[in-house]
Copies of this chain bind each other. A is one copy, B any other.
Amino acid sequence: MNKDIPVISLQRLPIYLNYLKSLPEDRTYVSSGLIAEALGMGEVLVRKDLAYTSATGRPRVGYVAKELISALEDFLCCNGRRSAVIAGVGALGRAVLSYGGFANYGIEIVAAFDSDVAKIGTAVAGKPVFDILDAKREVRRLKAELAVVCVPAQYAQKVSDLLIESGVKAILNFAPVLIKAPDGIVVRHIDVAANLAILSSMI
């Protein structure tokens, strides 16, 4: 993936992709104007976002729909397919396991971990739930490099340490605590409440 793309643009690419896939199969061309109108966005912005991909529009007719779909898919997945695990099978973990949007980015959720014996050995959304104590073995076996941490705040650091020891290189953290990680490991924090608070400050 082109690392120079702004996050805000990257987040829009799967939205374009979903829209393009929703069009009738027999549609040959699609213009940035059409996409912009359908999604309620500015046309210049759409063109700018799409310019990060390898697709090139043609004067008057726009993009070949199939080429644009391929260009978006290539762009989103061009760092290869990666496997991710979920730590914590509470309400949030279940939601993430059931979420279908990862495939657009070439990411596959392959397993989940929990410490609750009632959950270990079950499957959620078709993915096996393993004992967190077996993380080292399973993360290696599954070659998972990504993890989504959905455990309560007080366990987030310990679980992250274990995942990193097991070979995970990037952690998306939903727990409302900062995760410390050694150099070379990337961590991103999604704080749902902070996001709502930011909105609240804007009205």
Contact = CB atoms under 8 A, between A and B. Distances in A.
A191 to B, nearest CB: 5
B104 A95 contact: no
Nearest to A124: B91
Given A11-B189, A84-B196, A91-B98, 13 more contacts: A14-B176, A14-B193, A18-B177, A40-B180, A90-B95, A92-B95, A92-B99, A101-B176, A107-B197, A146-B200, A148-B192, A172-B199, A190-B192
Interface residues on A, range: 35 or more
B3 A146 contact: no
A195 B188 contact: yes
Please state the number of chain copies in the assembly. 2
Contacts of A39: 178, 180
Interface in A58-91: 76, 79, 82, 84, 90-91
A133 interface: no
A104 B192 CA distance: 12
Contacts of A123: none
A94 interface: yes
Contact of A170 (B3, B180, B200): B200
Contacts of A132: none
A146 B99 CA distance: 24
Nearest to A107: B196
A151 to B, nearest CB: 12
Contact of A145 (B1, B172, B203): B203
Given A95-B95, A200-B105, A203-B169, A194 B148 contact: no
